[in-house]
Copies of this chain bind each other. A is one copy, B any other.
């Protein structure tokens, strides 16, 4: 099975006006194929930085990232990314957005159409193919974005606070959807959030990060079965929620 991500001694600095700032101290992480990993941490701790490096959007300052043993050198269709702001192309219909991802496979026209429709159906939007993103609600947009990314059948799925802009109810239904799809496709997922409940509800492994410089300060393996209800976390993971919140709290005082 493929989709193994190895992050080896990865460190990243940004060069600004006042010299270089280290966004990420040397970090080692391995994501086993088919696992669901959450990164949680206060704002500015480097969550997006790790994710962008794995996506190939920014170059490592030191260290390297291997996917299935191959070093990454830029964005590649084997690694799908889902953005908080959806990043749908507003000038294309939902269906065309999905077809965009299929173009590189050079499929015959009919097959491309039907595969795109299948992907939309998978996220429950079989009827919305002809709509433009501007005509969809936030939740529907994010579903189209998921369908589009999944159409390319990436072995690794990176999600940067994908449901951060959605309201609480919609977010819950997106969790269900995501788990259902993941159950079927078994891609390796790296999921960035700063909502503890979201991490606890979804992930196999939660890495807690801290800032200045960005680094992983704690790792928890969550082996409770899914679905997990937020109101039962106290019994499912005794003390864990409070312990993670405790790690995050100091950063809050300056907010």
- Listed in ascending order, the chain A residues whose CB lies under 8 Å from chain B are 42-43, 137-140, 164, 166-170, 172-173, 194-197, 230-234, 241-242, 245, 248-249, 251-255
**Copies of the polypeptide in the assembly:** 2
Chain B residue with Cβ nearest A195? B168
Tell me which of B42, B173, B232 contacts A255 (CB under 8 A).
B173
- Report the minimum CB–CB distance from A239 to chain B (whole Å): 10
The answer on a CB contact under 8 Å between B255 and A137 is yes
Could you say which residues of chain B place their CB within 8 Å of the CB of A233?
Answer: 231
- Report the minimum CB–CB distance from A32 to chain B (whole Å): 27
Chain B residue with Cβ nearest A241? B231
Once bound together, how far apart are the Cα atoms of A231 and B241, in whole Å? Answer: 8
For this complex, 28 residue pairs linking A to B, each with C-beta atoms less than 8 Å apart, are A42-B169, A43-B137, A137-B254, A137-B255, A138-B255, A139-B255, A164-B167, A167-B194, A167-B195, A168-B194, A168-B195, A168-B197, A169-B194, A169-B245, A169-B248, A169-B249, A169-B252, A169-B255, A172-B245, A172-B252, A173-B252, A173-B253, A173-B255, A230-B230, A231-B231, A231-B234, A231-B242, A232-B234
- Report the minimum CB–CB distance from A142 to chain B (whole Å): 10
The answer on a CB contact under 8 Å between B196 and A168 is yes
- Report the minimum CB–CB distance from A136 to chain B (whole Å): 10
The answer on a CB contact under 8 Å between B255 and A140 is yes
Could you say which residues of chain B place their CB within 8 Å of the CB of A167?
Answer: 43, 164, 194-195
